[in-house]
Amino acid sequence: MNQISQLNEHNKQEYPPMHTCEHIVNRTMINLFGCGRAVSAHIEKKKSKLDYALPQALSDKDITKIEETVNSVIAQHLDVTVEYITQKEAVGRFDMKRLPENASDTVRIVKVGDYDECLCIGLHVNNTSEIGTFKIISHDYNDGILRIRFKLI
């Protein structure tokens, strides 16, 4: 399967507002808690979940701070843009571990204003004003993994 086929196969189920919100949540978690991007993600239109490797559970105050920060970023009406660079240019700037072995030499970077940028082949909104309001519906912490379940309203 070539890269275009993979891209089309990947995108047919994706809901752009939720996927773009995932990028914002990832950057928020990095900024607030110094963890990496989600180690696991399940993104759907109705509700989604993200898992983060953290040394300890977060407080309810921390969870509220995540929600407030993500909504503050969304409210800035940031443009979501795409840039193409070579894999060589991406090394050291991005985590290359999830890049398929057969990926082309050119990689796609998705930027959410100046807030976040990452390698991504997914569908996104053009501006964060299209996302809606981020709402954490539940969270739990088990064996070093924080799971956040959320929806957009």
Contacts of 35 (CB under 8 A, 6+ apart): 29, 52, 53, 54
- Global pTM reads 0.90
Under the banding of pLDDT at 50, 70 and 90, the label for residue 9 is very low
Per-residue pLDDT of 55-112, as tens digits, reads 999 999 999 999 999 999 999 999 999 999 999 999 999 988 888 888 889 999 999 9
CATH of the domain at 117: 3.30.980.10
Phi, psi of 25 (to 5 degrees): -65, -45
Number of domains observed in the structure of the chain: 1
Angle between helix 16-33 and 60-74 (nearest 10): 130
Whether the predicted pLDDT of 128 surpasses 70: yes
**pLDDT at residue number 1:** 37
Give me the domain span that covers residue 94: 3-152
Structure-token pair, residue 83: 């840039």
Percent of the chain's residues with pLDDT above 90: 84
